[in-house]
Amino acid sequence: MRHIVVIAHAPSPNTRRLKDAVMRGIAHPDIEAVEGRWVAPLEATADDVLSADAVILGTTENLGSMSGALKDFFDRSYYELLDHTDALPFAFYIRAGRDGTGTRRGIESITGGLRWKSVYEPLVCQGAFDPVFEEQCEELGLTIAAGVEAGLF
């Protein structure tokens, strides 16, 4: 079995829907040899990433940047991950009421520092909540799982 860790902040019903959609994508019946595990960012540790074959990050945009919870995860684990997770495949989605660019920049800056490998165009679920966001998150989860299963990354 290969493993995807989903470190996603999901503080509202809509953001829980997005996280659940990502997990549904990973658990798609066509995917047989990959399993996903969701960890809330405040609970996540460096070991969760070190033991994973790929990472999916999820966050709200709050006050122009990623959630404090996701930032806290990186604050706690950055130096444990640095030099041990080079080229780790990752993807991320952002739930933003209005914007999303500051959060995207912040995540790209941190993951660039860690030298992780982006394997999916960042997904920004922006504006009023739209059920299509769930489809997009499910597709994200499925695509990453299929890529991990096929050894594409």
Ligand X SMILES: Cc1cc2nc3c(=O)[nH]c(=O)nc-3n(C[C@H](O)[C@H](O)[C@H](O)COP(=O)(O)O)c2cc1C
Q: Which residues of the shown chain bind ligand X in the complex (CB under 6 A)? A: 12, 14-15, 60-64, 95-100, 129
**Residue 15 or 77 with smaller CB distance to ligand X:** 15
**Residue 48 or 134 with smaller CB distance to ligand X:** 134
What is the closest distance, in whole angstroms, from the C-beta atom of residue 80 to ligand X in the complex? 28
Q: Around Cβ 105, how many Cβ atoms within 10 Å?
A: 13
Using CB atoms within 10 A of its CB, is residue 152 exposed (0-12), middle (13-18) or buried (19+)?
exposed
Contact call for residues 61 and 99 (beta carbons, < 8 A): yes
What is the closest distance, in whole angstroms, from the C-beta atom of residue 50 to ligand X in the complex? 28
CA atoms within 13 A on the CB side of 92: 27
What is the closest distance, in whole angstroms, from the C-beta atom of residue 54 to ligand X in the complex? 24
Contact call for residues 62 and 68 (beta carbons, < 8 A): yes
What is the closest distance, in whole angstroms, from the C-beta atom of residue 34 to ligand X in the complex? 27
**Residue 14 or 85 with smaller CB distance to ligand X:** 14
H or E stretch at 10: none
Radius of gyration of the chain (CA): 14
What is the closest distance, in whole angstroms, from the C-beta atom of residue 2 to ligand X in the complex? 30
**Residue 55 or 96 with smaller CB distance to ligand X:** 96
For ligand X, which residue has the nearest CB? 97
**Residue 80 or 99 with smaller CB distance to ligand X:** 99
Q: Report the candidate in 26, 29, 47 with the shortest Cα–Cα distance to residue 37.
A: 26
